[in-house]
Amino acid sequence: MNSLHKRVILIHGDSILLTGISETLRTHNNLTVVTVKLLADPATLTNLNPDLILVDASQITPTQTEGLIAAFPEGHSPRIIRLNMDSQQLTIVSTQQFPAANIEELEQALEMISKQ
């Protein structure tokens, strides 16, 4: 497969959890797995143009996760997956934004989200 068609998975951090996931994902020919240091320079992240970013919830706060989103141009932020070993869950951080100045707009946004 041409490397231009590979999905880029960015591993953001160096926890044991992320290291193990990185090693497993690297065995998939259709993925390019790149590991960067925790809280790497935003320009480094955007230059890699990842399709997905994996973070360990024990290493990065929700506020820092929002900072990752802000590093990318509006509308071009990859999905961010926060993995939490303690709760054994993952959270998909959405970068979608909707107007919600009133209850009608909130209802419309919730309806759109529920259809995805």
* pLDDT value for 59: 92
pLDDT tens digits, 45-70: 888 889 899 999 999 888 888 888 88
Give the pLDDT band of residue 95 (cuts 50, 70, 90): low
**Token duo for residue 91:** 């959270």
Mean of pLDDT values over 88-103: 77
Higher pLDDT, 37 or 3: 37
Mean of pLDDT values over 90-116: 76
DSSP, collapsed to helix, strand or coil, labels residue 108 as helix
pLDDT tens digits, 2-30: 445 578 888 888 899 999 999 999 998 88
**Residue 45 C-alpha from the chain's centroid:** 11
DSSP β-ladder status, 79-84 and 89-93: antiparallel
C-alpha to C-alpha distances, 60 to 34, 49, 75, 114, nearest whole angstrom = 18, 20, 23, 28
Domain 3-114: which CATH class? alpha beta
3-state secondary structure 15-74: CHHHHHHHHHHCCCCCEEEEEECCCCCHHHHHHHCCCEEEEECCCCCHHHHHHHHHCCCC
Extents of the domains making up the chain: 3-114
Comparing 7-21, 24-38, 79-93, 95-109, the range with the smallest average pLDDT is 95-109
